Amino acid sequence: MRLALFDLDNTLLTGDSDYEWGQFLVDRGVLERDAYEAQNRAYYEQYLRGTLDIHEYLGFALRPLAEHSPHELERWHAQFMRDRILPMITPAARALVRGHLGAGDLCAIITATNSFVTAPIAREFQVAHLIATEPESRNGRFTGRVAGVPCFREGKLARLDHWLADRGRRLADFAESVFYSDSHNDLSLLGRVTRPVAVDPDEALAAEAARRGWAVISLRR
């Protein structure tokens, strides 16, 4: 059995689901536009540059989850899926995932974006396994804090190793493992799999892929 891992934002999606969730809440009037948009944009630019403090960002990104009821959040997310996420899924992305599922590969989406935002997206791709940053919840409500290690940069490796260990496996057990990502933030995990694939890569990842002879593909054309 092969292991197939998929980054989500700007890889299987043509945009960033975490960023778009914040913008969706702004457009609904849930969050104050000027202040939130400016901070959201600043954090996204830090992510692109590789300078993001993930704990600082999560304190910002998870706060809206703590301020509203689960029922309200779920209702908003259903519209978010229709309006923002489905238009960001290309036929090529669906075909890539469908090919690995059809081949019987063990498939997982692995993403820094929290599981509240991303679990319905994983279901849309019919991927049963999601490795994501986990928002803390108590008594049925989100607290605004993160539970455990954020699934970001080296944290992705830690979360993947833990997920595999729960199944009695190690990454080295797979004769072939593939990871699809667009971002230089994922270089540590890309360097661990047997077949790293750069998908519509950012400039830093494109340069590293060229240097190491990694495959480069597009899911947008």
Tokens, residue 23: 């913008």
Strand ranges inside 14-87, DSSP E: none
d(CA 200, CA 188): 18
Q: Give 140's DSSP letter.
A: T
Q: Which domains does the chain have, with CATH numbers?
A: 3-217 (3.40.50.1000)
What 3-state class would DSSP assign to 43? Answer: helix
Q: What is the CA radius of gyration of the chain?
A: 17
Q: Which residues are designated catalytic?
A: 7, 9
Q: Is the pTM of this model over 0.85?
A: yes
Give 72-119 pLDDT, tens digit per residue: 999 999 999 999 999 999 999 999 999 999 999 999 999 999 999 999
pLDDT value at position 47? 87
Helix axes 33-49, 17-27, angle to 10 degrees: 170
- Give the other-Cβ count within 10 Å of 161's Cβ: 14
- The CA-atom distances, in angstroms, between 10 and each of 18, 48, 143, 144, 165 are 11, 11, 28, 25, 28
Burial-class residue 11 by CB neighbours within 10 Å (0-12, 13-18, 19+): buried
User: Are residues 65 and 116 in contact, defined by beta-carbon separation less than 8 angstroms?
Assistant: yes
Amino acid at 54: I
Walk along the chain (221 residues) and give the pLDDT tens digit of each residue.
Answer: 999 999 999 999 999 999 999 999 999 999 999 888 899 889 989 988 889 999 899 999 999 999 999 999 999 999 999 999 999 999 999 999 999 999 999 999 999 999 999 999 999 999 999 999 999 999 999 999 999 999 999 999 999 999 999 999 999 999 999 999 999 999 999 999 999 999 999 999 999 999 999 999 999 97
